[in-house]
Amino acid sequence: MSEFTAKKLKEARVRAGLSQDEAANLMKLNKRAISQIEAAQRNLSADELAQFSRIYEVDVRELLFLEFTEAGEEQRLAAKYSSFFKLLEKLSDRDIEDVYWVIKRKVEGLL
């Protein structure tokens, strides 16, 4: 595993507010394995990488690609929600207005 991915995994764990022990429990690994992963001393399977992505609530591309992490926040959000935007484009104007109304109410805490 690359040192870049190891560093990004540690950063994501810290941002998620998890200790190595907590991450190990969620991953069903021991703390030593988390420590080795974050030190780039242990390889990851694709399944483990996906599980870290879910647990830390981070896009897997952010853990793998330097170019993705260097992208601006707007670009990251657009990439993250690109499938949502593609679906949105298929809706009628009225349906899009309804979606925005629901999102706005959700953000305001009214739903």
Picking from 22, 95, 82, 80, the residue whose alpha carbon sits closest to that of residue 52 is 22
Q: How many folded domains does the chain comprise?
A: 2
Specify the pLDDT at position 59.
Answer: 85
Specify the pLDDT at position 85.
Answer: 79
Domain presence at residue 40:
yes
- Check: CB of residue 66 under 8 Å from CB of residue 4: yes
Reading the block at residue 26, the tokens are: 């969620």
Domain holding 7, by residue range, is: 3-71
pLDDT (average), residues 11-25: 95
What CATH number is attached to the domain comprising 48?
Answer: 1.10.260.40
The answer to whether residues 34 and 52 belong to one domain is: yes
pTM reported for the whole predicted model: 0.61
The answer to whether residues 44 and 96 belong to one domain is: no
pLDDT (average), residues 35-46: 94
The answer to whether residues 62 and 97 belong to one domain is: no
The answer to whether residues 19 and 60 belong to one domain is: yes
Q: Backbone phi, then psi, for 108, in 5-degree steps?
A: -75, -5
E strands, the chain, in order: none
